[in-house]
Amino acid sequence: MKRTYDGACHCGKVRFEVTADIDHVRVCDCSICRVRGALIHRLPAEAVKIHTPLSELTLYQWGSYTGRDYFCPVCGILPFRRTSMPTQDEIDTGSVPFDGWAVNTRCLKDFDIFAAPQKRIYRSVPNVADILPDTRNLPE
């Protein structure tokens, strides 16, 4: 069921709202997603209202510079991003290029991230076990 969620970074400087039926969260294995731990849900642009001007956020880009990650300059939280790469589902359904927002559901007030099914996105490494550290010989 579609509902409206208020969103904010940790300190509250970045504010936004989302109107959507969030039926899953995405767990991605790319290098930046693994490090930041965001649980993302992709939404069409019209489903996201950003109240804080983007000019007041810190922009991070890398690689092809087509994706845009927006961070709070005070607390460093990533509340949302513009993605650069379509998912396989988007390719299969012909809904590319994706021109919406990828929202960090951890920033949504009253959204239960633990109740949402996880959709795992594995694209950047051939085998996720290859990126995990070898912990077999660590001291106890």
The domain segmentation of the chain, as residue ranges, is: 3-125
Q: Which residues on adjacent β-strands are paired with residue 129? A: none
**Secondary structure (DSSP) of 42-98:** EE-GGGEEE-S-GGGSEEE--TTS-SEEEE-TTT----EEE--S--HHHHHHT--S-
- Residue 43 — pLDDT band, cuts 50, 70, 90? very high
Residue 105 corresponds to which tokens in the numbers above?
A: 């559901």
- Residue 33 — pLDDT band, cuts 50, 70, 90? confident
Indicate yes or no: pTM above 0.85. Answer: no
Q: Which residue has the higher pLDDT, 30 or 135?
A: 30
Domain 3-125 has CATH 3.40.50.620: no
At residue 137, the pLDDT reads 74
Interstrand relation of 48-50 and 15-20 (parallel, antiparallel or unpaired)? antiparallel
Range from 18-22, 123-127, 135-139 that averages highest in pLDDT:
18-22
State the CB neighbour count (10 A cutoff) for residue 13.
16
State the CB neighbour count (10 A cutoff) for residue 37.
10
Among 100, 63, 98, CA closest to 81: 100
